[in-house]
């Protein structure tokens, strides 16, 4: 429930700021991060650190359209935040884990083959 603590801290610690002049997107909570009032363009924040698979040094983005509305995903028509960069290095870590897994399988296989050969040698000289 670290995200809930993060959300509550933002609600109490961050005083409401004056909205930017002109067209802007309203502040919002997308379930993972709190996004403040934003001028049209792309808003960026560091990825949340309370998800184990996320890299907190990467950036999450949210697009504010020129009409002052947050970007909606074309397939779901829901307001969308882009967290794909947060998992950028997770695929590399997964590939590394698979490499270690296959290395362990090969190592165990060689061990079993060596054991069988040694048993054959010992039984021959018995």
More confident residue, 86 or 62: 62
The sign one gets for the Cα dihedral 5, 9, 10, 12 is: positive
Confidence of residue 61 (pLDDT cuts 50, 70, 90): very high
Query: According to the model, what pLDDT value does residue 20 have?
Result: 58
Q: How far is CA 67 from the centre of its chain?
A: 29
Q: Which helix (H) or strand (E) holds 108?
A: helix 90-124
Residue range 14-28, pLDDT digits in tens: 555 555 568 889 999
Structure token digits, residue 23: 């067209």
Distance of CA 41 to the CA centre of its chain: 23
Q: Could you report the per-residue pLDDT of 66-94, keeping only the tens digit for each?
A: 999 999 999 999 999 999 888 866 677 77
Q: Which residues, listed in sequence order, are joined to residue 108 by a DSSP beta bridge?
A: none
Among 53, 15, 18, 51, which residue's Cα sits nearest to residue 33?
A: 51
Span 8-60, pLDDT tens digits: 655 555 555 555 568 889 999 998 999 999 999 999 999 998 888 788 888 99
pLDDT of residue 73: 92
Structure tokens that stand for 64 in this block: 């504010």
Q: Where are the domains of the chain?
A: 2-87, 89-126
Domain 2-87 has CATH 1.10.1840.10: no
Apex 47 CA angle, 64 and 80, nearest 5: 35
């Amino acid at each position: 429930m670290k995200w809930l603590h993060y959300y509550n801290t933002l609600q109490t610690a961050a005083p409401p700021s004056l909205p930017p002049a002109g067209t802007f997107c309203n502040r919002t909570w997308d379930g993972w991060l709190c996004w403040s009032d934003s001028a049209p363009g792309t808003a960026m924040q560091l990825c949340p650190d309370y998800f184990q698979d996320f890299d907190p040094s990467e950036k999450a983005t949210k697009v504010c359209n020129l009409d002052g509305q947050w970007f909606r995903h074309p397939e779901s028509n829901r307001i969308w935040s882009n967290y794909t960069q947060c998992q950028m290095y997770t695929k590399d870590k997964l590939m590394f884990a698979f490499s270690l897994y296959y290395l362990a399988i090969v190592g165990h296989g060689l061990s079993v083959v060596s054991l069988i050969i040694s048993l054959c040698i010992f039984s021959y000289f018995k």
